[in-house]
Amino acid sequence: MPSKTRTGFGYDIHRLEAGRRLVLGGVDIPHPAGLLGHSDGDALVHAVIDALLGALAEGDIGALFPDTDPRYKGARSLGLLETVMGRLRARGAAVVNVDAVIVAEEPKMGPHIPAMRAALAPVLGLPETAVGLKAKTNEGLGPVGERRAIACFAVALLSWPD
């Protein structure tokens, strides 16, 4: 058994903007609007990154990949996650599991969840069975409910060997 475990929590929200690609969990999802962001705007991967960084006590995605840095303009969020995984491995940690929630009124996320899990698992170094992912609506409330944004929450468990 590992001698040390830590849990991290992540959250992200991005506005929807007409004419942008919608990328969630590293998967392109057909929709007339995508998430506005300095990178590809993948709020799900951003929430996972924040959960991992939280468990490492290393701040958040904005501190590591600031939106003022032109190197990250249009960056693939799965690539940013790969960088975080390198930091995590350098500290001797491993991801035990990740669980996340996508909150969106539309498009329907259910059909895309298997592809998102398949995209996230190898980057996290996990089997797909250790990547929990579900989708909820916001019941018409707030910017998510008004179809102006998508929000994501994630929790990650890390372990260090003896």
Domain locations in the chain as residue ranges:
4-160
Q: Which amino acid is at 81?
A: L
pLDDT at 89 exceeding the cut of 60? yes
Record: fold of 4-160: 60s Ribosomal Protein L30; Chain: A; (3.30.1330)
8 A C-beta contact, residue 85 and residue 45: no
Q: Which amino acid is at 125?
A: G
pLDDT digits (tens, 9 = 90+) for 117-147: 999 999 999 999 999 999 999 999 999 999 9
Phi, psi at 12, each rounded to 5°: -155, 155
For the entire predicted model, the pTM comes to: 0.96
Q: Is 59 helix (H, G, I), strand (E, B) or coil?
A: coil
pLDDT digits (tens, 9 = 90+) for 22-47: 999 999 999 999 999 999 999 999 99
Percent over 90 (pLDDT), the chain? 91
